[in-house]
Amino acid sequence: MRKPSQRAQSLFFSRDESWLGFNRRVLEEAQDTSNPLLERVKFLAITASNLDEFFEIRIAGVLQRIEDGYNEALPDGATLRESLDAIRAETQRFVADQYRCWNDQLLPALRAEHIRVLSWDEMDEDARLFATDYYQREVDPLLTPITIDPSHPFPRVLNKAMCLALLLRRKRRGTAGPVLGVLTVPRALPRFVRVPTANGREDYIFLADLIERNAGGMYRGYEILSRAAFRVTRNSNLYFQEEEARSLLETVRAELHNRRKGDAVRLEIDSQADPEIVDRLRTNFELDESLVYHTDGPVNLSRIMTLYGSSSRADLKFKPFVPHELRLNRKSVDLFDELRHRDILLHHPYDSYDGVVGFIEAGARDPNVVSMKQTLYRTSADSPIFKALTEAAQTKEVTAVVELMARFDEASNIRWARDLEDAGVQVFHGVVGLKTHCKLALQVRRDPDGIVRRYAHLGTGNYNPDTARFYTDLSLLTADQEITSAVHSVFNYLTAHSESDDYRPLLVAPLTLAESFIRLIHREAEHAAAGKPARIIAKMNSLLEQSLVEALYAAAHAGVQIDLIVRGICSLRPGLKNLSENIRVRSIVGRFLEHSRLFYFQNAGDEEIFCGSADWMPRNLFERCEVIYPIRDPQIKARVRDEILAAYLADNVKARQLRPDGSYVRLRDASQPAFDVQDFFILVAEGKADIADIPRRQQTTTEAPKSRPARAPKKRAATATAAD
């Protein structure tokens, strides 16, 4: 890997600092008083959960590579040690800001709404009696007190388990100095205990605080000198190699990486903890002082998500809405009949995910469907899709490609695979060395006219009805012969490693995807140079692949107008003179997790639009099986262009624009009407808005790529998901 030049160093943002910037944007939602109060609590909990994964994977990976002696410069020009120092400094600042949000904003606001998180001393006598009884009945039987001494070594503290450390001294005279006691808070119990109140209040105490109050009863014969809650984050970095290391040397070092698996990478501890407790824990976990995080409040803020779920205050949460249901043309006999005449696009969660589930269930029930194939990356605990596949296996050929190494879902996916095999489903695990991340379902049906046809679902999100309620994703249902034939070829690749020379009209990673995107970007540059219409709009979760960033720079320099909607990591630096002045990058963080991937190329007026499962990341392009599919139906193209993309580019409430220095600024302009893209899509689903309600923006910032039709009545737009 060659060391970048000084100029190259200035062209790319650090991956990890960019991700930390994303998490700060989530924190801003917790600080934003325009959001409902309990939703702000939820956003704060999400920032803590995000940070957990960042330490488990990214920080663990950086520590691994430093230990291995990796000292080459990163794309942003920094060494790993320099990058780690910057990350440590930023995460310390971030944690301080998290607790300021909790202590100074959320707790007072919750109290004002009569929701209180109490200490033991703040509870009245009735609440204390209830809490004591709860502790004795539910908590005490699950606790195992441990004292660290020569015959009792330090216990194996589980990753992210809430624990209590106690500095103890024997009451008998003549005994040795203080010893350390450790208690693990049971994971089987709720993080908050609600205590009875009068006057409609909601009062809670943290489970850890309740255990701390009663800890003396488990250490009889000891004097408790001090106590402190703590939590250890461990290296869970099973797959660091897939992220960015593909060389033989990195493969050889895999065993060395495994040796560090499970080592501590962070210690969170109460800021009031006795220094002796901190020092003993840090020494035991072999942690540098810079990886100790002192918390000015409850250790592990992700616990406060329980408060969101426990509270009955619906008035302090986002107003629920009913997704738009898929309705068939009155002339259609069934969904298959409908798909023979037109494609269907579903925009989740605004369009109900029942349309996808219904497609799979229809195939399972229909005796004319003779074969079903499905990829599964993540799914829900009680999945109707899983049930449909197992039932279908009794009467037809059913194949499932289950990705066992979906991070943090490994155990559940292994269970899914075994249960599917027991039901008669042929289960495969994709191509060795590649994660199967594409979202595909294929059904072969002998139709009433005697012709055997293929029907497919292609998506941007997982086959998970639970997350489909709060992830934005796109689903295409189609009987397009070329698309379904290509999907069939992809399944052959996954089950038999049978490579094809051509998967068109699909773009498939790791075979054709990267080069295809680069070709499409270069084509726009050629159009711009020739004076033809040239525009790129791309929406994704992350943008990191250097070759694509360089292609975008070249296209922008040639005159292509480029708008990027990137939720999380973005290594591209917009607004650089004579290079990226024509590139605008925005991030939208709101009620729903922006998860859909959309790619628009103006192509001199012959527009092409693609959707799919892949971000512009090295892992998506080179180490996963991904599928990007075209939108070919003219009505759906118009909907994507004029409704979906235009609305994202018009948002000035939740959108933040990336500056050349790496900071993000909100686009809210008091002189312009407020437009929240997610609220708009809810209104569209409810039949209360349409594309005429999308504000017009200037071409240089947020104008949609094509003029819109005249205003229509307030009803669901006549697109591929509306009833005729």
The tokens 């930390």 sit on which residue?
Answer: 20
Closest residue by Cα to residue 72 from 149, 123, 1: 1
Virtual CA dihedral for 695, 699, 700, 704, nearest 10 degrees?
A: 60
Q: What is the DSSP string of 705-717?
A: SSPPPPP--SS--
Cα gap 387→187, rounded to integer Å: 29
Cα gap 361→556, rounded to integer Å: 46
Is the C-alpha dihedral spanning 353, 356, 358, 360 positive or negative?
negative
Cα gap 475→459, rounded to integer Å: 4
Nearest 5°: the CA angle 86, 278, 20 is 25
As given in the structure block, the two tokens for residue 461 are 């999100």
Q: What angle, 0 to 180 degrees and rounded to 10, lies between the N-to-C axes of helices 15-31 and 80-100?
A: 0
Cα 349 to its chain centre, rounded Å, is 15
Pairing of strands 598-601, 593-594: unpaired
Q: Residue 572: is it exposed, middle or buried by C-beta count within 10 angstroms (0-12/13-18/19+)?
A: buried
Closest residue by Cα to residue 441 from 325, 505, 506, 356: 356
Nearest 5°: the CA angle 231, 233, 237 is 170
The tokens 């069939």 sit on which residue?
Answer: 488
Question: How are strands ordered across the β-sheet holding 115-117?
Answer: 115-117, 202-206, 192-195
Cα gap 39→437, rounded to integer Å: 30
Selecting among 324, 348, 429, 437, the annotated active-site residue is 437
Classify residue 103 by its DSSP letter.
Answer: I
Q: Residue 498: is it exposed, middle or buried by C-beta count within 10 angstroms (0-12/13-18/19+)?
A: exposed
Closest residue by Cα to residue 348 from 455, 465, 484, 443: 465
Kindly give the residue spans of alpha helices, DSSP state H, lying in 54-79.
60-67
**Catalytic status, residue 437:** yes
Cα gap 110→631, rounded to integer Å: 46
Q: Which residues are catalytic?
A: 437
